Amino acid sequence: MGSPAPINDPTMPAPVLGPGQTYTTVTQKLSAIITSRTPLGWIAAMLIAGGILQLLMLSATWLLIKGTGIWGLNIPVGWGWAIINFVWWIGIGHAGTLISAILLLMRQQWRNSINRFAEAMTIFAVMCAGMFPLLHTGRPWVAAYWLLPYPNTMSVWPQFRSPLIWDVFAVGTYFTVSLIFWYLGLIPDFATLRDKAKHKISQIIYGVLSMGWRGSAKHWFNYEMASLLLAGVSTPLVLSVHSIVSLDFSVGLIPGWHATIFPPYFVAGAVYAGFAMVLTLGLPIRYFYGLHDYITDRHLNNMGKVMLATGLIVAYGYAMEQFFAWYSASPYEGYMMQNRTFGPYSGTYWSLILCNVAIPQLLWIKKVRLSPLWLFIISMFINVGMWLERFIIVVTSLHRDFMPSSWDMYHSTPWDWGLYAGTIGFFLFMMILFIRVMPVINIFEIRQLVANKSHGEHAETASADD
Amino acid sequence: MSSMTRTAHKNGLDLSEIRERLSTREGQDYWRSLNELADTEEFRDYLHREFPEGASEWNDKVGRRKFLQVMGASLAFAGLTSCTRQPPEKIVPYIRAPEQIVPGKPLFFASALSQGGFARGVLVESHAGRPTKIEGNPAHPATPRPGNATFGPTDAITQAQILDLYDPDRTQVPVGNGRASTWTRFSATLATEVAKLDLDQGQGLRLLTETVTSPVLVSQIRALLEKYPNARWHQFEPGTRDNAREGARMAFGEVVETQYHFEKAKRILSLDADFMESGAASVRHARHVALGRKVIDGQKADMNRLYVVESSPSNTGSFADHRLPLKASQVEGFARAVAAALGINAMGGNNVGHDTWLNALVKDLAAHRGTSLVIAGDHQPPAVHALAHAINNALGNVGSTVTYTDPVEAEPTNQHASLKDLTVDMSEGSVSLLVVLGGNPVYNAPADLNFAAAYQEVTTRIHLGQSQNETARLSHWHLPEAHALEAWGDTRAFDGTVSIVQPLIEPLYGGKSAAALVAMMMGDGRTDYDRVKEYWGEQYKESDFETAWQTYLHDGLVPNTALPERSVSTTENYGTPSQASEGFEVNFRLDPTIGDGRYANNGWLQELPKPHTRLTWDNAALIAPATAEEMGLQNGDVVALSANNRSVEAPVWIAPGHPANAVTVHLGFGRTAAGRVGNGVGFNAYELQTSDSPWTASDASMTKTGQTYPLACTQDHHSMEGRALVRSGTVDEYEKHPHFVHEMGHDPGPDANFFDGIHDNDGIAWGMAIDLNSCNGCNACTVACQSENNIPVVGKDEVLNGREMHWIRIDRYYKGDLDNPELYNQPVPCMQCENAPCELVCPVGATVHSAEGLNDMAYNRCVGTRYCSNNCPYKVRRFNFLHYADEETQSFKLQRNPNVTVRGRGVMEKCTYCVQRISAARIEAKVEDRELKDGDITTACQGACPADAIVFGDIKDPNSRVAKLKAQQRNYGILTELNTKPRTTYLARLTNPNPEISQHG
């Protein structure tokens, strides 16, 4: 890209910001979501999400009272929905980090309007994910700290060869860094809200949260530096977390788990799932709060393309699993794949292919990428498909492994559903709460976009877009 | 049958297609179940889909009620217990310690436990005064293990009797007219009754016992009958061997006991006898047949050859070289044909075909005069027994493999006739006092006798029994009977050998033995101990009885009491030939796990997967695949079985190898007063049984009801998928090509380790070898393990959920023809892999490797991620998904092995090679300042195994038995291609087919 091009040049990407935006309109519009009167729709949504959240309380309580036997687990299927949900939620979290860290480093400015809620989504998704590994253990009350390497008089340490320990570190680090990164990005906006807030209590809360931000050049310099550093720290996490999660499986010797392709395939799947979730949440928010000027067609188009690309990597993963099963010439691998494809869970497998491979091919069509409705539908398919993918990996591999005498079927119970739905309730509850109390779109970064725009589109043309 | 659910099946089992598929298969082709053969996914999943676990979990009757029933964890019961007088507890140290009691060190006492009246010698482990585990007495003829073995072999039921002792549903106080009472009150009633008897010399007195061999009890009953000459003594139990007695009477004009010597037999023909699994000497027989098949590299293989003709698939049949399924009524014709071919004037004869088989068999038997053996099943009519006697005689086996003695029972009785007489007397009102010493005729008498109705015509009914069973509930007085581990007594083994029954513990609930009750009637005030000791003192003709008595107790048997061999004179009477029935037949059999129903309240036995079917918690109508095909039946379909104008509803189970046009039902289920565990489990097959033909009902019919019933099977899952898990060959193949076993699988060899010798050390390396050539799948190991290692029972729902807890399971694989497959059993404990996949993945290091190569579990450290189980290729790990261990029931606490942790909820567990026994032996060796030697440690499964199929020891000691076995060519590991380096390995099974029977069949 050499010389600056006109903004409506069809060969150039659509703008990341709608026309006519100024500092004032941006600030007004985005802070009004928080400072305005509570909309009835928000209360209704909160009630619904809060209601579903109660399922989490109920399911978790009953689980702690009775034990994991309330789920459909058995021998040989020792892992079920809990692990599926864990991987699913962790995957969903990935888009946030990708958007805030990698795209920041790559100076993709279109990320600015979606990174905030994508990051929030990450935080809440990781919270949801984090519940499962603990709740799925037989004795959560000791698992809660025995998996941590704390000094103790017994000199007993975790077993560092176990991928589950790697998980603890990977997910722990991920959550911590994501939280700090998110909070750091919120500081200038908290300051804006502090200034905008009319109520004394709000002023105090936002005042405290903004940590004395005054917007001085020094502040901005420190902010930019910290932001870059954190982005640098986060970037490897995007790749490492899901790679390590995938090692839970590929370190195992179970056919269907024991595959070297898992780390890249899981990372791609995570980004895929994450972007689908960003759309699933972003499109309704955009619609209800009229944020079309901030989440523009350009964003939709780009996210569609990211999904298409990662979806193709995932599809390649599926193809490679089939190929390995054949090429390994291992009867166990061969049987596993045959069973996966044509066995009792073949319906699930083919649904997965439909959701994750077939339907997303529509994203090749630009019209689909620009249509919020289409994108929403496709993103829902991907959300489901990614869950099914984890189901296939966890359950079909375990239920028929090496000893045919031990083969058995896995059937979920209402408690499996309850806990899963409960975490969705928790996630929605937190998201809805977040929309109301924190700026869902990064105010100062949008203002920066306005600034960039008024300064001759430098940033726009300086970086190669998607 | 109340919980039957209507379910439609998507897809049927196309048996004709299966046949076709089988016919096109070649070579060693194993299949696990019909489901696999059918190869339809709907069917693979069938067992579980028809009863979705999800639903069962959700509809769970609040808090796994059934599960709680099973484990009997009930506070209400705790309340009941407190009604009885508990021994005072004193927490003071011993001032003078009881002799021999070292805290923490168990003592073993020799005793005997009876099944069907006949003794099995046992050594009972006692911890601080409470019996915890039953082992076989190696010196006892029924449980022999010569040499310096610590324990003798046992069977599953004997192993499980320790749980019966502590059954919380046992009667705790005498019950008079349905209300709790006392022995004192009962004595008063009894005195009144006895006073009446004195008036008419016991005119209205009847005694009903089960089979009695106890010399003391017999002497007492005889004394009672002498005092009341008008009284009568009846004997009945469902497993009665009437046919054998009548067969002997037919053949020799008198009742004699046949003693079989399988150790000398080279060719064995079983005429519908499951002699390795049932009968007074089953453990001994199973052992001797297996020992007769041991093959050692470099020595000429001299295997016996076992032919089994059977009407229902049995363990004996699975062990056979040649197995022929025939309908029960066809066996007689077959026996006559064999007899005729051997020159016996048997009349009638083969109307069943199978000439090639028969001729080859006869030729083989005839070629082994004096070393062959023919045994007839207790279910076969007397004529078959007479024919078997004649065949043995014609083959010159009498005096070598078959000998005769006087009957062991004091009063050999045709028990069904005896019960019938009693019923007639009762309904005529001529019985005023009936004393039932054990047994449960109200439940288990054949239906045609209408026993319950007749029973209620008796003026005074007194029942002695361990639980308030069906009979107890219809009695005026129900008295708690002492368990065999609670009272002094005596009993005899199959060959007459007497054992003194020693109590291990005071009666938990003030129960009395049968002998004590008879003594009460006689006004005999002696204690059981005095009575038994005095009786045997009288029998003792030399000086110093006290020393002899101590020897009896120590050795667990009275020397030289085996009955002497005697001669018999043949009558050449083989009965009138009866025609094989053309119609549909019902076979009645005692259940292989709960017997005639007396063990129905024993959770270990209920949850023990039955041979062949691997069913738990239910009986089923076993049918041939052909019959299922004909009637369009699937596993779990409910049918109405009708015979003799009676009908019961039963779920069917397709049993490959079952003869067509017949069904086998197991007795002992459908109880209404068994207790919390046994009530309402399965259907009551006694309702179809008749006293005239208790083992077979001909002209029966079976109709489909359209309902289905969930059956909890632990292993009806699919084929071996061509994986070399069980390896087998013929003995000829082995001799020509001893290495054949290793060509069936891929072994990466010793150098395939990424890290060199991480578990290598100079010390001991524990290992186990399991000889598949010896295992007949008797399940003794599974129960022994359950008893030793405090393994909980989970209940039917949890078995349906796939959560059974057995640490050693028996895998079963079929091979060959659908109508008559070969069956292979494979016990699977933990493999104790040297490169254990489980250890690598545990995040908290709860499963770690010991220096001696054990894959140890630290239960306290386990947080329950279940990753280890997922990563275990052998799936031997078991998880406490719920709180399975019963910590409420007080009595069960006494049973537990104090050296094994009781695992809580959320903890993984598995086979440890009985690490507690290893530690105990190590400590003992250390105390004695010596090295551990081979044989110091016997694992629970190894100790129980009748066939010595399981051998444990130090594989680094080249002279250990296990090392020698592992050096055999037949030794192989399973899934070794994963480089797990299992310490448990298997020795391939060998068969010894008759070359003249070209095709198996």
Kindly state the DSSP code that residue A423 receives in the 8-state scheme: H
Higher pLDDT, A81 or B85: A81
Average pLDDT, chain B: 84
Confidence of residue B430 (pLDDT cuts 50, 70, 90): confident
Alpha helix segments (H runs only) across B254-354? 282-291, 315-318, 328-341
Q: Is residue A419 part of a domain?
A: yes
Q: Is residue A11 part of a domain?
A: no
- Domain B257-405 CATH assignment equals 3.40.228.10: yes
Total count of domains within chain A: 1
H/E element, B702: strand B696-708
- pLDDT at residue A463, rounded to an integer: 43
Q: Is residue A9 part of a domain?
A: no
Q: Is B721 left (phi over 0), alpha (psi -120 to 50) or beta?
A: left
Residue A401, amino acid: D
Q: Contacts of residue B53 in chain A, CB cutoff 8 Å?
A: 72, 411, 413
CB distance A75–B828 less than 8 Å?
no
- Per cent of chain B over pLDDT 70 is 87
pLDDT tens for A324-381 read: 889 988 889 999 999 999 989 999 999 999 999 999 999 999 888 888 899 999 999 9
Confidence of residue B718 (pLDDT cuts 50, 70, 90): low
CB distance A67–B863 less than 8 Å?
no
Q: Contacts of residue B63 in chain A, CB cutoff 8 Å?
A: 66
Query: Pairing mode, if any, of strands B460-465 and B477-480?
Result: parallel
Q: Is residue A5 part of a domain?
A: no
Optimal mutation site among A84, A167, A403, A419, interface B, most CBs of chain B within 10 A: A403
In the predicted structure, residue B720 carries a pLDDT above the cut 90: no
* A149 contact B CB<8A: no
Low-confidence residues in chain A, pLDDT < 70: 1-21, 23, 30-31, 35, 107-113, 452-466
DSSP A57-89: HHHHHHHHHH-GGGSS--SS----HHHHHHHHH
CA A310/CA A327 separation, integer angstroms: 25
* B754 contact A CB<8A: no
ipTM of the complex: 0.89
Angle (CA) B498 B499 B501, round 5°: 140
pLDDT tens for B53-63 read: 333 344 444 45
> Which residue, A437, A421, A440, A435, is CA-closest to A48?
A421
Domain range holding A272? 23-462
In the predicted structure, residue B915 carries a pLDDT above the cut 90: yes
User: What average pLDDT does this structure show over B221-242?
Assistant: 90
Identify the closest residue of chain B to A132 by CA–CA distance: B865
DSSP B568-614: -----------PPPSSEEEEEEEBTTTBTTTTTT-HHHHTSPPTTT-
In the predicted structure, residue B830 carries a pLDDT above the cut 90: yes
CB distance B863–A157 less than 8 Å?
no
Identify the closest residue of chain B to A330 by CA–CA distance: B977
CB distance B906–A73 less than 8 Å?
no
- Which residues pair with residue B121 across a beta bridge? B112
> Does this model's pTM top 0.90?
no
In the predicted structure, residue B72 carries a pLDDT above the cut 70: no
- Comparing A339-348, B141-150, B338-347, B349-358, which segment has the lowest mean pLDDT? B349-358
Contact criterion met (CB below 8 Å) for A78 and A394: no
* B723 contact A CB<8A: yes
Q: Is residue A363 part of a domain?
A: yes
* B809 contact A CB<8A: yes
Q: Contacts of residue A81 in chain B, CB cutoff 8 Å?
A: none
Identify the closest residue of chain A to B977 by CA–CA distance: A330
Q: Is residue A57 part of a domain?
A: yes
- pLDDT at residue B744, rounded to an integer: 81
- pLDDT at residue B95, rounded to an integer: 63
Identify the closest residue of chain B to A69 by CA–CA distance: B881
Query: Pairing mode, if any, of strands B130-136 and B175-176?
Result: unpaired
Q: Contacts of residue B826 in chain A, CB cutoff 8 Å?
A: 405
In the predicted structure, residue B666 carries a pLDDT above the cut 80: yes
Percentages (nearest 5) of helix, strand, coil residues in chain B: 30, 20, 50
pLDDT tens for A234-267 read: 888 888 888 999 999 999 999 989 888 899 988 8
Structure tokens at A379: 């993103």
Confidence of residue B868 (pLDDT cuts 50, 70, 90): very high
In the predicted structure, residue B948 carries a pLDDT above the cut 50: yes
User: What average pLDDT does this structure show over B682-707?
Assistant: 89
CA B490/CA B529 separation, integer angstroms: 10
Per the listing, tokens 């789920």 go with A71
Q: How far is B887 from chain A (nearest CA, A)?
A: 15
Contact criterion met (CB below 8 Å) for B131 and B505: yes
In the predicted structure, residue B345 carries a pLDDT above the cut 90: no
A–B CB contacts, 8 A cutoff, strictly below: 199
Q: Which of residues 158-187 of A touch B (CB under 8 A)?
A: 158-159, 161-165, 168
CB distance B882–A408 less than 8 Å?
no
In the predicted structure, residue B31 carries a pLDDT above the cut 80: no
What strands, in cross-sheet order, belong to the sheet with B305-310? B322-325, B305-310, B267-271, B372-376
Higher pLDDT, B663 or B84: B663
Average pLDDT, chain A: 84
- pLDDT at residue B956, rounded to an integer: 87
User: What average pLDDT does this structure show over B430-444?
Assistant: 90
pLDDT tens for B518-543 read: 998 888 888 888 888 899 988 888 88
Helix (H, G, I), strand (E, B) or coil at B49: helix
CB distance A147–B863 less than 8 Å?
yes
CB distance B44–A344 less than 8 Å?
yes
Q: Contacts of residue B719 in chain A, CB cutoff 8 Å?
A: 404
In the predicted structure, residue B81 carries a pLDDT above the cut 50: no
- pLDDT at residue A189, rounded to an integer: 85
Structure tokens at B780: 């003794």
- pLDDT at residue B23, rounded to an integer: 61
Identify the closest residue of chain A to B825 by CA–CA distance: A405
pLDDT tens for B772-791 read: 999 989 999 999 999 999 99
User: What average pLDDT does this structure show over B859-867?
Assistant: 92
Could you tell me the CA-to-CA distances from B250 to A391, B254, B342, B576, B693 in Å, in that order? Answer: 68, 8, 19, 11, 17
Q: What are phi and psi of B909, to 5 degrees?
A: -145, 165
Exposure b/e, B66-96, CB count within 10 A at least 16 = b: bbbbbbbbbeebeeebeeeeeeeeeeeeeee
Q: How far is A338 from chain B (nearest CA, A)?
A: 12
- Per cent of chain B over pLDDT 90 is 36
Q: Is B500 left (phi over 0), alpha (psi -120 to 50) or beta?
A: beta
- pLDDT at residue B721, rounded to an integer: 73
- pLDDT at residue B18, rounded to an integer: 62
Q: How far is A336 from chain B (nearest CA, A)?
A: 11
- pLDDT at residue B45, rounded to an integer: 47
User: What average pLDDT does this structure show over B58-75?
Assistant: 48
* B845 contact A CB<8A: yes
A112-135 and A81-97 helices cross at what angle (nearest 10)? 160
- pLDDT at residue B358, rounded to an integer: 86
CB distance A402–B874 less than 8 Å?
yes
Q: Is residue A14 part of a domain?
A: no
Structure tokens at A336: 């596993």
CA B792/CA B776 separation, integer angstroms: 25
Q: Is residue A44 part of a domain?
A: yes
DSSP B182-226: -HHHHHHHHHHHHHHHHHHTSTTEEEEES----HHHHHHHHHHHH
Q: Which of residues 362-421 of A touch B (CB under 8 A)?
A: 398, 400-409, 411-415
Per the listing, tokens 């990977």 go with A170
Say which residues have a Cβ less than 8 Å from residue B313's Cβ, sequence separation at least 6.
B325, B611, B612, B622, B655, B656, B657, B658, B823
pLDDT tens for B574-603 read: 878 777 778 889 999 999 999 899 999 999
Q: Which of residues 116-145 of A touch B (CB under 8 A)?
A: 136-140, 142-143
- pLDDT at residue A435, rounded to an integer: 83
- pLDDT at residue A199, rounded to an integer: 83
Q: How far is B838 from chain A (nearest CA, A)?
A: 9
